[in-house]
């Protein structure tokens, strides 16, 4: 019986259907794979460019210009100081855009409204 097995030609074995046991193979041609997970970049079936990695962006901390100047009072009569805090339509810019602290934003809003009431600043742009 041992002679019968030795004389028969053996068929080539097909590779296993799943990912390689070590996990260091490739899922698609040229795309690396994490151990036990999907490919590192997911391309479409038709190919296409791989997704870019997220870029790290560190936003510069905005500082309140009134705190830097250590001002205790925002004068409503100085329209040239108040004008950069208004949109062209007359709206007051929010803190997240100007970087003004909460205390000075409240003072700024009062000063802008006073300046608008005595016509130093416009309520809205000319249409």
Summarize pLDDT for 75-93 with one digit per residue, the tens: 999 999 999 999 988 899 9
d(CA 79, CA 114): 11
In contact, 112 and 86? CB cutoff 8 Å: yes
Q: What is the pTM of this model?
A: 0.53
Q: When comparing pLDDT for 110 and 12, which is higher? A: 110
pLDDT, position 52: 78
Q: Provide the sign of the torsion angle of the four alpha carbons 59, 106, 90, 81, taken in this order.
A: negative
Tell me the domain boundaries of the chain: 65-117
pLDDT, position 106: 96
Fold exhibited by the domain 65-117? 30s Ribosomal Protein S18 (4.10.640)
Per-residue confidence band for 50, with pLDDT thresholds at 50, 70 and 90: confident
pLDDT, position 104: 95
């Amino acid at each position: 019986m041992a002679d019968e097995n030795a004389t028969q030609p053996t068929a080539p074995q097909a590779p296993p259907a799943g990912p390689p046991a070590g996990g260091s193979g490739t899922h698609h041609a040229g795309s690396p794979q994490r151990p036990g997970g999907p490919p590192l970049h997911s391309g479409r079936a038709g190919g296409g460019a791989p997704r870019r990695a997220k870029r790290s962006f560190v936003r510069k901390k905005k500082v309140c210009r009134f705190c830097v100047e250590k001002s205790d009072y925002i004068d409503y009569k100085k329209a040239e100081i108040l004008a950069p805090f208004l949109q062209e339509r007359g709206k007051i810019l929010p803190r997240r855009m100007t970087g003004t602290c909460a205390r000075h934003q409240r003072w700024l809003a009062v000063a802008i409204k006073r300046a608008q009431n005595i016509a130093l600043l416009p309520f809205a742009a000319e249409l």
